[in-house]
Amino acid sequence: MVEELGRRRVNHGDVYVLRLYNRLDQTKKGEIACASPGEARKWIEAFEQAKQQADHDLMRGVSWNRLQNENEINLDGHRPRVRRYAQGLGKLVRIGKGPEMLLRQSSDLRCQERVNTNFGGDTGDAFEAHEWRYVRTFNGIRIFEDIANPKGGKGILLKSVGVVGANPDTVFEVVLNLDKHKRYEWDMLTADLELVETIDGYCDVVYGTYEPKYLNWWKGKNDFVFSRQWFRGQDGAYTILQCPIGHNKRPPKHGYKRAKINPSTWEIRRLNTSGSSPKCVVTLMLEISLSFWGRWKRTHSSNFDKSIPFALLSQVAGLREYFAANRALTSDLPSTVVKSKSSEPLIIQSELEDSEPGDEFYDALARGESFEDEDSDDDDDDATPKAGKVKLKNVSWAIAGLALKKTKALVENSELVTNSSPVTADPSHFHGTLRRAKSENDPNSWSAPGGEKFMIRGKTYLTDYTKVVGGDPLLKLIAVDWFKVDERFDSVALHPKSLVQSEAAKKIPFILVVNLQVPAKPNYNLVMYYAAERPVNKDSLLGRFIDGTDAFRDARFKLIPSIVEGYWMVKRAVGTKACLLGKAVTCNYFRQDNFLEIDVDIGSSSVARSIIGLVLGYVTSIVVDLAILIEAKEEEELPEYILGTVRLNRVNPDSAVSI
């Protein structure tokens, strides 16, 4: 397993640390420090390629002993940097001519990149759509306001969007860098920053001061304290959350007025272009008082230009000009392609295959929100994206949804044994510890929505990256359990009181148990039970997943989240991007009798722990939809289908049952 531990301060410099460990033997572990997040990403891709190559060779019947002799190398004699940072790690898998060659290898991906003509701040599958309206331009940067009815927010959302001539890794490092001499070149507000506390590799607290030389709205010197929390998605995009906080190490300073910096987020995403120069879309989003923004819109006074929100929104323009003036920072180091000698088609490239760059839309659609590109300046209500994988040109959503519902029978024909008599799995016969919702607004409950809010791979995805609206789930959600435990709780289905052990459950042909293990104090288990009312076809994709290897399952088990209602910053952190859980966290699989249980250890990833910590703070006000599916990678497996869904409505941690 390879886990990203985020940034770490070493010898007055920041490095990006990867932890390597054996899931079955935790004593076999080591760490690698990388100079940049881009280098860390290359190492992860390299190890992923090595695992895929090993799986491929094993399927071809290559002796495991020969694989070990050929593919393991000792670090002695390799470059000093690898020896210095690979603490306790004796061996690495050989990839090509070795990792040190891999990191220097150039890429031929430029010719494969798809032209992206929709480059709004929300490109990709990562975040829910908002109803953005263009307001005005500052320094060549577009400013938008969210005109949707805010739910769970405290004010109005504004954002500035610009294209920066550099790769996302470099822009991310510049934004996080605390060197004031560098920040003076692009940041007019938060240039004087100092580190107060490092929480972990993905979160810290900083203190800053500001002297009002330009924003004369302020009468005297100001200081502020805020936390910064960051994540990198499987698509290589970065999200940085910034929230004002108090800290006992930085009480109010004499002669300074304590200012409250607006809650804000940075989103940095690669822009695929036909040119050779790297580019990315940078979006800065912030929350502003409804009354203040309303006054400015009514009067169009110059006061907004002398406010903290204006100074924050102007940072995107500062970044753009900073990189334009420092061309040495804009060199691109694209992801490495490693071609196997034994299997020429086996190519690992996470940004083209797994994370789907150039995707202009979302894997989850927000209820009642516009699907229109924010850059469109016409009044056409049809969703007609110029490029990307969602291609529903000249077809209404209603017709598309109706057409997909007709395919559910085809999915059942291919995945289930349809010539057998069905066993009715009535949810009223099964009772979990979390109750089923009686109405749409029933708190602390669950329901089973359809799949029309999610985007899945269409029949022609491998050739044109088309995604389509999901249909009805194949499996029926029959119950949800909500537990709290002192230690991690595996193999829930074997518990004597588990509904899987009931007589009614034993009559069901197949039950999929998804056990989401939530790290907290105490720990929580959210367990969903999905039933197939007919036996599973063993030769189908679902059948191969149920009885396949853990490596196959890790590479296919996918989850799509969507926060329907909740605080906007939590929405931005969670996003709506499909996640291969086996790559993000540790998944343990338990196959027995008529069920398969998947124990998803969210605490195995420091990134996931950080996001869950944020979500738990708002969980009683959040409505979240989840969809699970098996990723289709071969033409005969397409189109994809939704395996199961669940809606969790304002779940209360205090209602969790002790085990």
The contacts of residue 474 (CB under 8 Å, 6+ apart) are 408, 411, 412, 415, 416, 532, 542, 641, 642, 643, 644
Of 96, 51, 92, give the one whose Cα is nearest residue 72: 92
Burial of 99 (0-12, 13-18, 19+ CB in 10 A): buried
Amino acid at 561: P
Torsion 148-396-271-124 (CA) sign:
positive
Bridge-based pairing state of the strands 510-518 and 595-601: parallel
Torsion region of 124: left, alpha or beta (phi above 0 gives left; psi -120 to 50 gives alpha):
left
The contacts of residue 32 (CB under 8 Å, 6+ apart) are 17, 18, 20, 43, 82, 85, 86, 89
Q: So what's the pLDDT on residue 264? A: 93
Q: So what's the pLDDT on residue 649? A: 95
Q: So what's the pLDDT on residue 330? A: 67
Q: So what's the pLDDT on residue 156? A: 86
Give the chain's residues under pLDDT 50. Answer: 67, 69-78, 81-127, 151-152, 218, 333-361, 367-406
Rounded to two decimals, the pTM is: 0.74
Q: So what's the pLDDT on residue 25? A: 77
Q: So what's the pLDDT on residue 94? A: 38
- Phi then psi dihedrals of residue 440, to 5 deg: -65, -35
